[in-house]
Each structure stands twice: as C-alpha cells, then as structure tokens.
Structure 1
C-alpha cells in the first residue's frame, strides 16, 4: 500500500500500470474530462486488461474481466475508459457489466450510463471491426470506476 497524493489519508494498492494510469489521467485532464469530486463515502478502482486481437466484423471479441483488486461495495457513479489501437482503426466498441452494456464513442472517454450497477464489477470491453477494416490489436484497455 502506498499513500495517495490525491486523497490525503488514503492508501492505494500499487499497480504495475502506474505509468499507464498517469498517462490516462493526463489525457483525461487534457480533454477536460477531469474526475468530479467523489462522495465522502465513495471511492474508485482501476482495472486493466491485456491486449487482444480483433479479427472479425461479425463476432465480438471480449476482453478479460476488469475487477477491483479489493472488495468493493456500492454502485457505480461513472466510468472513465481508454484503449489504444493503431491510427485509423475503426472499431465497434462497448463496455459491459452483467446488467448492461454501453457503446463507446471512441478510444477514451467518460460515461455515467453504467451508474447504479454493482461497483464490484466485473466490466469487460467488447470489440468488433467496423466493416472493411483489417484485423487489429487493441492494447492498454483500462477503466477507472468511481463508486458510492
């Protein structure tokens, strides 16, 4: 556990994707999508999935489940997501919870469409190629789940 500079008094479990998380937060801040203050009884968790190859426009390819490293109670308030593909790649992408899925508008963003579902997850990314696209690799799949 390490001290959290953003929330004095809280400690975070160190994750291997620290550089990736920092880049995500820089990108989000640059897009003006900064995180809203969390409720006093809320929190957040970060999940990441390994790369995968998407090779079909007819069949979805689903990431490994993204879950919190520790038990979480409560419900999702918002989710920040990101993934990376080669420039010019067009995908049909979704972020899914067992209760519902939300279509993603691009390789990074924020959604409140999963608000109210269990914050314990898991979440998965789902991808298929847009018509006419060649097989591609999706990397750096990550979510930041704010919950209360």
Structure 2
C-alpha cells in the first residue's frame, strides 16, 4: 500500500499535513456481515497529525453499491457515494488505523470494490515546513 505525504507550513507554527493511502480491493459477498479493507496507517512523519478532514474514492463492480463507512475502531462515518469528502470526527486519533467498511443490502449480488483511496488532512502542531 503506497502512502503519500504532503506537508505545508503555516505562520502559526503548525504544519498542514495530508497523507493518502490506497488499500487492496475488497470483495463484498453477503448481506449478513461487514467486509473491511486492510488497515490504513499514516506514515511516520504524520504520526502527530490531528485529523481535520478526509476524502475518499472507490469503484464498485458487479452490482449495486454496498453501504460504506470509514472507521477507526468503533467510530464510523457513513460514506454517501463512491467519492466525497467530510470533516474528521473529533475523536479520531492520528496513531490508530482507519478501515473502509462495506455491507450489502439484503438480496444484493456480491460486488468487488476497488480503486480505494483515502486522503486525511490535518495539522501537526509545533512543526513547520522549513
């Protein structure tokens, strides 16, 4: 899973940091359980990141799109559509992994979700881009 890190300095002594990860495809096979992506972790330079917002994208093959969430432990945000952006929940931590989670509607055919991409943006206090 390649990860990209971008850092922009601000005058207040905090750096705005974004990291992007692309997990492997997920096969969502039944409505009776949740299917999760591999864990998405920030690169070491973003370990102190205070998440502020995130964006996502994915593609669905084989049937109607499943319900989707982005989760950190039991704190999940519903993803409305295969692409979008949203504010990060205030309880998300920089040092805990994130995962995509999918569930089929009752009676829906199995699907493959690929081209998953997550970008998390926030501030790392006390750093600058110098």
Picking from 29, 41, 51, the partner of 1:55 is 29
**Selected match of 2:42 from 64, 68, 73:** 68
Task: Measure, in 2, the Cα distance between the counterparts of 1:139 and 1:117.
Answer: 25
Aligned to 2:83: 108
Post-superposition CA distance 1:17-41 (Å, at most 9, x none): 89xxxxxxxxxxxxxxxxxxx7722
Match of 1:141 among 89, 113, 116: 116
Mapping of residues 1-148 of structure 1, within 5 Å: 40=10, 41=14, 42-71=16-45, 72-86=47-61, 89-98=64-73, 100-148=75-123
Q: TM-score, normalized by length of structure 2?
A: 0.77
| Structure 2 Cα separation of the partners of residues 60 and 16 of structure 1 | 25
CA offset at residue 114 of structure 1? 2.3
TM-score, normalised by the number of residues in structure 1: 0.68
| Structure with the largest fraction of helix | 1
Distance 1:93 1:130 in 2: 11
Structure 1, gaps ≥5 residues long: 1-14, 19-37
- The superposition leaves residues 48-101 of structure 1 with CA deviations (integer Å, 9 ceiling, x where unpaired) of 110111011120001101112324203110000111102752211110012610
Residues in 2 aligned to 1:39 and 1:56: alpha-carbon distance in whole angstroms = 46
Aligned length: 115
Q: Which has the higher strand share?
A: 2
